[in-house]
Amino acid sequence: MSASSSNSASHEPAASSSDKRELEARGKNKNQDETKFTVPFYRLFSFADSTDVILMVVGSLGALGNGLALPLMTVLFGDLIQSFGGASDTHDVLRRVSKVALEFVYLAVGAGVTSFLQVACWMATGERQSARIRNLYLKTILRQEIAFFDKETKTGEVVERMSGDTVFIQDAMGEKVINVIFAILTGSFSLGQIAPCMKAFAAGQAAAYKMFETINRKPEIDAYDANGKELDDIRGEIEFNDVYFSYPARPDEQIFSGFSLFIQQGTTLALVGESGSGKSTVISLIERFYDPQAGEVLIDHINIKEFQLRWIRGKIGLVTQEPVLFATSIRDNIAYGKDSASVEEIRAAAEIANAAKFIDKLPKGLDTMVGEHGTQLSGGQKQRVAIARAILKDPRILLLDEATSALDAESERIVQEALDRIMANRTTVIVAHRLSTIRNADTIAVVHQGSIVEKGSHTELLKNPNGAYSQLIQLQEVNRDEDIKSGPRLDKSDVWNGSARSSGKILSFHHSISHGSSGRHSGRHSFQLPVGLHVGVDVQDSTYEKVDPKIPPEDSKEVPLRRLAYLNKPEIPVLILGSVAAIANGVMFPMFAMLLSNVINAFYQPPQKLKRDSNFWSLLFLVFGGVALFSLPARSYFFGIAGSKLIRRIRLMTFQKVVNMEIEWFDDPENSSGAIGARLSADAATVRSLVGDALGLIVENITTLVAGLLIAFIANWQLSLIILVLLPLLGLNGYIQMKFLKGFGKDAKIMYEEASQVANDAVGSIRTVASFSAEEKVMEIYKQKCEGPTRKGIRLGIISGAGFGFSIFFLFCVYAAGFYAGARLVDSGKTTFGKVFRVFLALAMAAIGISQSSSLAPDSSKARSASASVFAILDRKSKIDPSNDSGMILETLKGNIELCHVSFRYPMRPDIQIFQDLSLTVHSGKTVALVGESGSGKSTIISLLQRFYNPDSGVILLDGIDIQKLQLRWLRQKMGLVSQEPTLFNETIRSNIAYGKEGMATEAEIIAAAELANAHKFISGLHKGYDTLVGERGLQLSGGQKQRIAIARAIVKDPKILLLDEATSALDAESERVVQDALDRVMVDRTTIIVAHRLSTIRGANVIAVVKNGVIVEKGNHETLISIKDGAYASLVALHLSSGS
C-alpha cells in the first residue's frame, strides 16, 4: 500500500459527548503512562552551558545568603530581647535598641541584594535552558526518519511537549529551586513551604523523561549525519535491485517482494497502475524516507545509503499530489527550494510554474501569506507554488507524484509544458493517472501488487491490445468518447447503460493483469484522467491580506479569580476542606508570634512562675506542631485535586468552544492549530496555579493578616498603626512588580504561540521538510521566534528579582523602624516590653507569611495571562455556531436551493470581491455542475451552502427558507460533502466512516456505505480490516483509498443534498467509473452540486454553470453549451480534449 507523500489540511470534528469521554480517557492514560518514568533531578540541567553554570552558582549563593537572613535575624532578635529585658532604665533601652535597629538596616541591604541575585539568576537560567531544550527537541524531531512519525509520534504530541512540558521543566529548574534553598536555610518552620516546589520538581522530571528520551534517540536515517559520499554531481541513473519493503507501521503487509527497476539517466519513467500498488512507495524509497528491508536502491551504481543524506536530497526535486505549504509568505514557501535564493530566481521559478500571473494580482504579491497548510489559496494555486519551489531547486532527479492533478485544463497544459522543458536532461519519475501526463514518457511501467507487469513506451505497450496498459487506456477512452458526445445524459437510466458498456473492459483489465502479474491478490486501484481543484476555500486569484487586525485574546481584560473559582463549583466540598486546612495553616504564624511573645515574657518572671508557664507554653507549641503536621499536606492535597479537575474541565470546554467556532475564526493566523494546541496544552495547565497552590495561599494569607492585625491591635494600637503605615510600601512594591510581570508574560505567550506554529507546520509536513533538506531553515525560523520570548523571560527574571529584593529590604527596614518606635513608646511609658514583642511578632509573622507568596509572582502572572487567553475563547460567541439548537427544522426537505443576488468577500480579505450579485437555482433532485478556472469561486458556493461563511448581501434559500433561519446542525446533517483533498482523522477506518453519522452508525451501515463507495474490497484486504488505523491525516493510505473512505463517510448519513468538490479526482479510471456509478446511484432523488474540471464527471448534470470572476457567465446542459461558438464552456471542453488527446 502506498503512503501518500504529503498531508492535507485538517478540520476538527464537533466535540460530541463520546469525544469528550475519549479525550478524558486519553488524558488519564497519558498521565499514568508518563508519570511512571522520570529523569534524575540533576539531569534537568544537562543542557546548561558555562553562562548557565555561572548563573546557577551565583543564584545559589544568593539563595544561601537570603536563606541565612532569617536565622541572622533571630540573632538580632535575641539582642533586642536583651536590650529590652536587660537594660537598667528606659533611656538605656532606647540607646541599645537604636544600635540593633541599625544592624537590621544592614541586614536589609544584604538580604535585598542576595534575594535579587537568587531570583534573577535562577529565572534567567531556567528560561535559557528551557529554550535550549525546546530547540534541541525540535531539531531531534526533524532529524528522525519518516517511520518514527508513522509509529511513535503525532504533531499534537510534539506541540504539547514543546509548549506544555517545557513549562514544567522550566519551573523545576527555575524559580522553584530558589524557594527550596531559601526554605531549608530559613529553618524547619519553613520546610512546609517546599511542598509545592517538590510537586513542580516531580512534574518537571516526568515531563523531561519523554523529551530527553527523544533528544537522545538516534534516528535510523539521520538528516544531520555529515558522513557519506558527496560527488561533484550525479548523472541520475536509478536502479532498484531485488527490493523487499513493508511500511514500518504495517510490517505484516508486504509492498515489494523482489522489486527491480532500472531508469536510464536523463530519461522519463512513468509509473501507472492501481492505487495502493506501490507507485508512490518507489518515490519514498528514492527520497530515502524509508530504507528497504532487503535489496538496494542505487543512484549511479552507488547504494543510496552511502551518500550524505542532505546532499543526495539536494539533488532530488519532489512535487506531490497534495501540495504542502507552510504558514508563511509565498516568497518564503518558494525559497524553501534553495538556500539564499534571490528575488529574481524566485520570480523566474514562479513564471515557469505559471504562478506569476495569479501572484501579481494579489495585493501583496510574493509577500502574501498563504495561511495554515496554504488554505488561503485554491488547490491549483497551491500546486503551482509547490512546482515553483521544486523548479527553484534545479534538481538532477525530478519526482512528480500527480504533480498537475489539481490544475484546470488551461493551467495543466501550461504547467505541463513548463515541466516538459525542465525535465530535459533530467531523470524524471512520474506517478500519474492522466494519459496527457505520461504519453510522452520514454518508458511506462505498469505496477500491480508491488510488481512491474508491463514496461515499454506508449506506442510499444499499445501494440498488445490485451495488455494491462492497453486496458487502462481503453477505460480512459470510454470517458473521453462520452465527453465528446453531444447528447447530454439527462436520464438517470443512461448511467446504468454507461456502466454496462464499460463492465466488459473492467473485467478484461483484471484478466490481463492476472496474465501479466505474479503478485498477490489486491482489490486496490489507481489510474485516472483528472483536472482537480482544491478542497475548501476557493480564491479568486487572491489570498489572505490582514486588514484591521483583531485584538488578540491575550489583550483581553483580566479574568477575575471568582470566574475561575466558579468553574471549580463542582469541587466546592473539596475546596471548603482545603480552605479549612489553609485557615488552620494561616492562623499558625500569628499564634506562633503570640506564643513566642508570651514565652519571651515568661523568661523575665520569677523562677516558680517561669517553670509553670514554660510547661504550659511548651505543651501549646506541641499542639500547634501537631495541627501544622496535618494542615499543610491537607491544604496541598485538596487544592491539588480541585486544580487537576479544573484543568480537565477548561481543556474540554475550550476544545468544545473551538470546534464550534465559525471558519472565519480559523482563517486568522492567531488561531492556527499550533496556537490553539499550545493554549489547550500549556494555558490550561498554567491556569491551575491560580486555583491550586495560589488559591490556598490566598486563603492562608488573608487568615494570617486578619489574625495578625487582631492580636497586634489588642496588644497596642499605637505601635500597630505605626507599623501598618509602613507595610503598604511592601504592597505597592508587589503591585508594581505584578504589573511588569503581567506585561512580559503576555508578550512572551503570543510569541511562543508563533514558535509553536512553526513547529506544528514542520512536523505536520515532515516529508516536505525532509525532501527539501529544510531542517536547518525551520530551526532558524523557530529560533528567531523563540529569541524574543527568551529575552523577555530573562528581563522578567531581573524585574522579579528586583521586586523580591526590594520586598525583603523593606521588610527588614519595617522591623528596624517598628522596634525603634516600640522603644520610644516604652521610653514614654505608653506600653510595656511584652506588648511591644506581641505587636511586632504578630505583624512580622503575618508579613513573613504574606511575603512568601511573592515567590508565586512568576506563577500568578503567567496564570493570569493564560486565563485571559483561555477565557477569550470561552467568552467569544461564534458567529455561526453549530452547537446552537435554535432555528427551524423542516419535517420534510425537498432540496430546492436558490442563491439570490449573493455578494461575498472573505472576511480576512475584504478588499477582494469573490461574488457580485450571483444568482443560481438548483431544483430538487437535480444535479448542477459548476465548472470554471481554478480560483473562479466554485468551491466558495459550497462553503456558503454549508454556512462556513454567511454572504455579505443577498440570501441563500433552501425550500424557500433562508438557510440562516434553519438550525445549523440539522442543515449540515442534511448535506453530504466530499472534497478533493480528503481529511481523515488519526483513527480506525470504521471510526472515520462513522464520523459521517456523528459516530452513531451501525456496523451494517458502515459496511453498506463502504461497499457503495467501492471501498469494502480494499478494506477487507487489509490485515486489520475496518480496525486499520489510517495514520495522521490518513497518511497510511493512498490518495484513492482515502477518497473512497471520505465518500463512504458522506454516504453513511444518507444526505438529501450532495456536495461533490472534485470527489473522484484522486481515483484511477476503473475505480472512478465504479465510484461514479455509486455516486450516480446515491444522487437519485437527491439535489447534487458538483464542482469539477473533468467532463466525464459533469456530462450527465441537468445543468452546467460556468463560473468566471465570481459570476455565472453561462448556464445550460452540455448539448446547449457546447453548441455556443466561442462560448466559455466550449473553450473549456476544447482545452480539456486537447490536453487529453
Alpha carbon distance 178, 182 (integer Å): 6
- Mean pLDDT, residues 325-352 taken together: 86
- Mean pLDDT, residues 254-267 taken together: 89
Q: Beta strand 975-978 with 961-962: parallel, antiparallel or unpaired?
A: unpaired
pLDDT grade for 588, boundaries at 50, 70 and 90: confident
pLDDT at position 445 over 80: yes
- Is the separation of the CB atoms in 352 and 279 below 8 Å? no
pLDDT at 12: 38
pLDDT at 113: 93
pLDDT at position 497 over 50: no
Which range has highest mean pLDDT (122-131, 153-162, 672-681, 1032-1041)? Answer: 122-131
Strand partners, 885: none
pLDDT at position 15 over 50: no
Strand partners, 1057: 975, 1087
User: Pick from 459, 454, 460, 458: which is nearest to 512 by CA?
Assistant: 454
Q: Beta strand 268-273 with 427-431: parallel, antiparallel or unpaired?
A: parallel
pLDDT at 485: 45
Of residues 134 and 444, more confidently modeled: 444
pLDDT grade for 843, boundaries at 50, 70 and 90: confident
pLDDT at 571: 85
pLDDT at 320: 81
pLDDT at 511: 40
- In 3-state terms, what secondary structure has residue 949? coil
Alpha carbon distance 818, 813 (integer Å): 8
pLDDT at 88: 58
Task: Please return the burial class of 343, using the count of CB atoms within 10 Å of its CB with bins 0-12, 13-18 and 19+.
Answer: exposed
Which range has highest mean pLDDT (322-326, 549-553, 695-699, 926-930)? Answer: 926-930
pLDDT digits (tens, 9 = 90+) for 688-744: 777 666 778 778 888 888 898 898 888 888 888 888 887 776 666 656 555 555 544
Question: Residue 2: which residues within 8 A CB-CB, separation 6 or more?
Answer: 255, 275, 276, 277, 278, 279, 280, 281, 1038
pLDDT at 173: 54
Task: Please return the burial class of 999, using the count of CB atoms within 10 Å of its CB with bins 0-12, 13-18 and 19+.
Answer: middle
pLDDT grade for 7, boundaries at 50, 70 and 90: very low
Q: What percent of the chain has pLDDT over 70?
A: 77
User: Pick from 1110, 1130, 1114, 1115: which is nearest to 936 by CA?
Assistant: 1110
Backbone angles phi, psi at 981, to 5 degrees: -105, 95
User: Pick from 440, 430, 442: which is nearest to 404 by CA?
Assistant: 430
- Is the separation of the CB atoms in 1096 and 479 below 8 Å? yes
Alpha carbon distance 224, 155 (integer Å): 21
Backbone angles phi, psi at 376, to 5 degrees: -85, 0
pLDDT at position 9 over 60: no
Cα–Cα distances in angstroms (integers) from residue 158 to residues 6, 114, 180, 416, in the given order: 18, 38, 31, 38
pLDDT grade for 30, boundaries at 50, 70 and 90: very low
pLDDT at position 50 over 50: yes
The topology (CATH level 3) of 37-219+552-875 is: ABC transporter transmembrane region fold (1.20.1560)
User: Pick from 1122, 502, 556: which is nearest to 865 by CA?
Assistant: 556
pLDDT at 303: 92
Alpha carbon distance 529, 433 (integer Å): 6
Q: Quick one: cell of 851? A: 511575603
Alpha carbon distance 778, 240 (integer Å): 32
The CB density around residue 93, as the number of other CB atoms within 10 Å, is: 22
Cα–Cα distances in angstroms (integers) from residue 52 to residues 55, 131, 701, in the given order: 5, 12, 34
pLDDT at position 32 over 80: no
Number of Cα atoms under 13 Å in the Cβ half of residue 132: 15
- In 3-state terms, what secondary structure has residue 1108? strand
Of residues 54 and 486, more confidently modeled: 54
pLDDT grade for 581, boundaries at 50, 70 and 90: very high
Helix or strand holding residue 769 (H, E): helix 766-771
Residues in the chain: 1141
Q: Lowest mean pLDDT of 429-438, 728-737, 798-807, 976-985, name the range.
A: 728-737
pLDDT grade for 849, boundaries at 50, 70 and 90: low
Alpha carbon distance 1001, 990 (integer Å): 9
- Mean pLDDT, residues 386-399 taken together: 87
- Mean pLDDT, residues 343-356 taken together: 88
Backbone angles phi, psi at 131, to 5 degrees: -65, -40
Q: What percent of the chain has pLDDT over 90?
A: 7
In the block, cell 536555610 appears at 185
- Is the separation of the CB atoms in 590 and 704 below 8 Å? yes
- In 3-state terms, what secondary structure has residue 398? strand
Strand partners, 957: 898, 962
Alpha carbon distance 889, 643 (integer Å): 41
Would you say the C-alpha torsion 1107, 1108, 1114, 1118 has a positive or negative sign? negative
pLDDT at position 331 over 80: yes
pLDDT digits (tens, 9 = 90+) for 909-939: 787 788 888 888 999 888 999 988 777 788 8
- Is the separation of the CB atoms in 188 and 621 below 8 Å? no
pLDDT grade for 58, boundaries at 50, 70 and 90: very high
Alpha carbon distance 835, 1121 (integer Å): 104
pLDDT digits (tens, 9 = 90+) for 966-980: 998 888 888 888 887
Question: Residue 113: which residues within 8 A CB-CB, separation 6 or more?
Answer: 62, 65, 805
In the block, cell 525603634 appears at 820
Alpha carbon distance 797, 802 (integer Å): 8
pLDDT at position 872 over 50: yes
pLDDT at position 100 over 80: yes
Q: Quick one: cell of 546? A: 490582514
Cα torsion for 345, 350, 353, 354, to the nearest 10°?
-140
Cα–Cα distances in angstroms (integers) from residue 10 to residues 535, 656, 878, 1112, in the given order: 11, 16, 20, 30
pLDDT at position 16 over 80: no
User: Pick from 272, 555, 262, 239: which is nearest to 430 by CA?
Assistant: 272
pLDDT at 362: 84
Q: Beta strand 1057-1061 with 294-299: parallel, antiparallel or unpaired?
A: unpaired
Q: Beta strand 268-273 with 254-263: parallel, antiparallel or unpaired?
A: unpaired
Q: Quick one: cell of 937? A: 469561486
- Is the separation of the CB atoms in 825 and 836 below 8 Å? yes
- Is the separation of the CB atoms in 401 and 283 below 8 Å? yes
Alpha carbon distance 1080, 123 (integer Å): 65
pLDDT at 534: 32
Which range has highest mean pLDDT (222-226, 480-484, 992-996, 1121-1125)? Answer: 992-996
Helices (H) and strands (E) in the chain, counts: 42, 20
Alpha carbon distance 382, 1010 (integer Å): 30
pLDDT at 197: 64
Question: Residue 458: which residues within 8 A CB-CB, separation 6 or more?
Answer: 438, 439, 440, 441, 444
pLDDT at 54: 93
Of residues 185 and 573, more confidently modeled: 573
Average pLDDT score over the chain: 76
Backbone angles phi, psi at 241, to 5 degrees: -120, 100
